[in-house]
Amino acid sequence: MRVFLCSFENFSLAVPINYISSIVLFQGNQDVAVEYDDRFFNTYISLPILFNFPLAKTKHGIILKNHDDEKDNIDDDSLMQNRSILLTTEIINEADIPDEKIFSVPKILNIMQFSFFINGIVFDIEKAGISNRDMVLLLNPDQLVKNIHKELKS
Domain count, the chain: 1
Could you read off the pLDDT of 70-79 as tens digits, one per residue? Answer: 544 445 555 5
Could you read off the pLDDT of 64-121 as tens digits, one per residue? Answer: 998 655 544 445 555 578 899 999 998 988 989 888 888 887 665 665 555 678 888 8
Q: Which ranges of 80-132 would DSSP assign to H, the alpha helix? A: 125-128
What pLDDT does residue 73 have?
44
- The residue segments making up the domain with residue 92 are 2-153
Dist CA 117 CA 47 (whole Å)? 11
